[in-house]
Amino acid sequence: MYTIKQAAARCGVGISLLRAWERRYGIVTPSRTASGYRLYDDAAISRLRAMRRLVDAGWSASQAADTVLASPDSALEPAAPGASAGHADGPPDPEALVAAAAAYDTVAIEATLDDLLSRGSYEAVIDDLLLPAVAALGTAWEDGRIDVAAEHLASAAVQRRLAALFDLAGAPSTGRLVAVGLPPGCRHEIGTIAFAVALRRRGINVLYLGPDVPLASWVHVVAEPTVDAAMAGIARPADEGPGREVVAAMATARPDLLLAVGGPSSGALADTSAHVLATRVAEAATELAGLMAAR
């Protein structure tokens, strides 16, 4: 059984939208705890995922709900390419996302992401399942097995999931604030937003700036006294130069600021004033949270 927050994360929708689907269309009827909190079973998760896939494909919410309600639960979870309908029988196919992208099959892309994200907690799947699947997309494009449109299609689906998980990770608060983003000209943001989700799940208030943040904007943001730390994602070797400029500019603007860099190419900035975080997302978030607590 899952709480409403867990159900929303597994289905890739916001809590308010989940409640609206429940209230308006009756596609799920959760049980209640003694305190009145909703609890959702696996069948409810299947119906909510099916509803989301149909709405994402362009169906109206009412049409999608009618279809979900008329379908047996066993027919609602499509199998990912190259994988069984469930995941209990073995590990996920590392090429499933590539195959779905190559076919421009949005249903299969979403089903593959459902499978990956349902295999454990966010921290358990992000480094060992989801990000390797994203890396496989890049390799497939480099090898000529998929074109850039297919790679963008699947990557955009991953980014939408991560954005939803960011929203579900906690409400903004007045607590200590960390600015997270990418240097100017740097656009490969999946690893960085994945880090932002992991950090927010640790109770840290994250100001996610996104990709390609101009140097002047970094300086403007960290000039705010409410910002206690900043992390720049360094995803590729090409990001190292812009990353150095961002770190130097922030260190000049705020000498007291906790600075960090993370990502596959962040080790090249070890000679700067920024802390180089672990390459694994979950470990990097734990490390930065510890650095903040120690200050």
Taking only the tens place, the pLDDT of each residue in 263-275 is: 999 999 999 999 9
DSSP3 helix / strand / coil % (the chain, rounded to 5): 55, 10, 35
DSSP state of 11: H
Inter-CA distances, 80 with 4, 70, 101, 129, Å: 25, 22, 11, 14
Does CATH number 1.10.1660.10 belong to domain 1-75? yes
pLDDT at 173: 64
Do the beta carbons of residue 207 and residue 227 sit within 8 Å?
Answer: yes
pTM: 0.74
Q: Report the 10 Å Cβ neighbour count for 203.
A: 12
Do the beta carbons of residue 218 and residue 269 sit within 8 Å?
Answer: no
| Per-residue pLDDT at 84 exceeds 50 | no
284 contacts: CB under 8 Å, gap ≥ 6:
195, 198, 262, 277, 278
DSSP state of 92: P
User: Backbone dihedral region of 122: left (phi > 0), alpha (psi from -120 to 50 degrees) or beta?
Assistant: alpha
Output phi, psi for 280, to 5 deg: -75, 135
Query: Pick from 191, 27, 53, 188: which is nearest to 114 by CA?
Result: 53
User: Backbone dihedral region of 170: left (phi > 0), alpha (psi from -120 to 50 degrees) or beta?
Assistant: left
| In the chain, where the domains are located | 1-75, 78-166, 169-294
Average pLDDT over residues 43-47: 86
The confidence band for 196, taking pLDDT boundaries of 50, 70 and 90, is very high
Q: What is the mean pLDDT of the chain?
A: 87
- Say how many residues make up the chain: 295
pLDDT at 78: 54
Structure tokens that stand for 77 in this block: 């979870």
The confidence band for 8, taking pLDDT boundaries of 50, 70 and 90, is confident
| Per-residue pLDDT at 69 exceeds 90 | no
Specify the range with the lowest mean pLDDT, choosing from 55-69, 192-206, 231-245: 55-69
* Fold of the domain spanning 78-166: 1.10.1240
Average pLDDT over residues 251-259: 95
The confidence band for 77, taking pLDDT boundaries of 50, 70 and 90, is low
Query: Pick from 253, 170, 155: which is nearest to 206 by CA?
Result: 170
The confidence band for 189, taking pLDDT boundaries of 50, 70 and 90, is very high
pLDDT at 171: 64
Give helix then strand counts, H and E, for the chain.
13, 7
* Fold of the domain spanning 169-294: Rossmann fold (3.40.50)
pLDDT digits (tens, 9 = 90+) for 155-175: 999 999 999 888 877 766 666
Inter-CA distances, 134 with 88, 116, 223, 295, Å: 22, 11, 34, 35
Query: Bridge partners of 207?
Result: 179
DSSP H/E element including 290: helix 281-294
